[in-house]
Amino acid sequence: MSERFLLINPVKGYVFPFSARGLTYIPGPITQFLERAQGDIFLDGTGALLKITNAVPTRTGIGTTVKLALKLPVRGEIKLAPVDMEFSAYKDALIASLRRTRETHQDHDETWWLLVDPIDEVITKVNSTRSLADLYAIMEFPADEDCLDLL
């Protein structure tokens, strides 16, 4: 699976590239995970906006229960559902999240253009898009190994 998503959370104020591999692992107790993931919005390659609705472990049993309680990732399926959001509202949320990410998650090793190019140039490029699919197309995501793959 090599699809990448643009992950934003307007409430918490972050934006990151996200690998679809991360949708195959549940990173701890499901109720806590779902609470932490509230507000996460994924933009996929078709231009769809998605949110997490549930997480289901692949296996059940005491081993899985213990791993989840210890906040260890377990194989599973993170279920997504459509989000109803206007394109202009999404762009505004993306730009606000981008500003906060640059302020609070500065990483000197970061190379993704969205996080390192001058902010005015990034905003101009984002605002030049006409649809969610166009917005996704300009992302030039880093390789999977440089994307988040665990929530």
**Composition of the chain by helix, strand, coil, percent to 5:** 40, 25, 35
Closest CA to 53 of 28, 29, 83: 83
pLDDT at 40: 94
pLDDT at 48: 95
Provide the residue-wise pLDDT of the chain in tens; the chain has 151 residues: 449 999 999 999 899 999 988 888 888 888 898 898 999 999 999 999 999 999 989 888 888 888 888 888 889 989 999 999 999 999 999 999 999 988 887 665 667 888 888 899 999 999 999 999 999 999 988 887 787 777 7
pTM: 0.87
User: Is the Cα dihedral 136, 117, 86, 77 positive or negative?
Assistant: positive
Closest CA to 20 of 34, 33, 31, 6: 6
Identify the helix (H) or strand (E) that includes residue 132: helix 132-137
Q: What is the CA radius of gyration of the chain?
A: 16
